[in-house]
Amino acid sequence: MTVQKNPLVKPFLKWAGGKRQLLPEILKYLPKNIGKATYFEPFLGGGALLFELQPKTAIVNDSNWELINCYKVIKDNVEELIEILKDHKAKNSKEYYDDLRGIDRSKKYSKFSEAEKAARIIYLNKTCYNGLFRVNSKGQFNVPFGRYKNPNILDEAVLRGVNDYFNQNKVTFSNLDFAEAVKDAKKGDFVYFDPPYDPVSNTASFTGYDINGFNQNEQRRLKQVVDELTEKRCNVMLSNSATDFILDLYKDYKETIFIVSATRSINSNALKRGKIDEVLILNYVTKH
């Protein structure tokens, strides 16, 4: 499944719910002998597991079209993206940030190229408060300026490393519903689901980061998709918060549910950052 890994291939965005902190646990529970299987990730986000594994064949998806556009631009047009980011870096200020953030509320945004849209999102992500990607009900980015002393707006080595990985392997991007994104998975393929987490409290929901939201009915629909993939003998791993709702929803898989701890660094309340219990739910048995 994997090739010689390039250490420069790693997430280029800070993403709410990102899996970098949980990677050591996830790697313990991967299915053995994945071999030449296709890797599916329907909730791609920052792509931490994709970049860690660097599979030769991957079908990855996210409901956030601006995020998927970033991945496509890095694959197809990385040098133009780098040049635009150099310009953003040179002009970085609160006033510049506010102007660029608000441009999706104007007609000017429709004239932006894909590369300009991708550079805008990367710049805003690197300079906004707490590195938080969040949109309002109209899908407009609405996080204030972060006032960092030296934000890492442009990491050319990482962007080119990710570009190399995408172009040396068969990586397909889509902007679909999660169920549609995995419909071609077949026996032996590996599917990793990292949906918006079931909130541990009324104020802890990650769904605020995503205009599409993800309520308990969506969690139930996802469970149906996991069951269908299990019938097809795909290898499925799912991460979520260890709430009573999720543990009950996946009680059919109770022999392969594992409680793990992850450090959360993105929360508007600093007191709520830290270790929280999460679950990894598998439909296969693994020795870890």
> With contact defined as beta carbons under 8 Å apart, do 172 and 58 qualify?
yes
- Residue (of 74, 59, 65) closest to 11 by Cα position: 74
Which residue's structure tokens are 């953030």?
A: 101
d(CA 19, CA 47): 8
User: How many C-beta atoms lie closer than 10 Å to residue 87's C-beta?
Assistant: 12
Partners of residue 236 on adjacent β-strands: 191
pLDDT in tens, the chain (288 residues): 445 799 999 999 988 777 888 899 999 999 987 868 999 999 999 999 999 999 999 999 999 999 999 999 999 999 999 999 999 999 999 999 999 999 999 999 999 999 999 999 999 999 999 887 777 778 788 899 998 889 999 999 999 999 999 999 999 999 999 999 999 999 999 999 999 999 887 555 444 444 457 899 999 999 999 999 999 999 999 999 999 999 999 999 999 999 998 765 544 454 444 567 899 999 999 876
Q: What stretches of 77-215 show up as alpha helix (H) in DSSP? A: 78-91, 94-101, 114-127, 156-168, 178-181
Nearest to 70 by CA among 4, 124, 127, 19: 124
The pLDDT assigned to 211 comes to: 45
- Local structure of 60: helix, strand or coil: strand
Position 79: which residue type? E
Domains and CATH numbers, the chain: 23-63+176-282 (3.40.50.150), 69-157 (1.10.1020.10)
For CA atoms 185, 7, 81, 194, give the dihedral sign: positive
Pairing of strands 274-282, 257-264: antiparallel
Q: What is the pTM of this model?
A: 0.91
Evaluate whether 47 touches 9 at the Cβ level (below 8 Å). Answer: no
Token pair listed for 15 = 């993403």
Which residues are CB-contacts of 75 (< 8 A; sequence separation ≥ 6)? Answer: 163, 166, 167, 171, 173
Return the sign of the alpha-carbon dihedral for residues 260, 261, 266, 269. Answer: positive
CA–CA gap between residue 93 and residue 105 (Å, rounded): 20
Contacts of 73 (CB under 8 A, 6+ apart): 80, 81, 114, 115, 117, 118
Can you give the pLDDT at residue 59?
A: 98
pLDDT for residue 102: 95
Phi, psi of 194 (to 5 degrees): -130, 70
Distance CA 111, CA 20 (A): 35
DSSP track, 197-248: PPPSSTT--GGGG-TT---HHHHHHHHHHHHHHHHTT-EEEEEEE--HHHHH
Look at residue 280 and give its three-state secondary structure. Answer: strand
Of 138, 158, 135, residue with least CA distance to 47: 158
DSSP assignment letter at 149: S
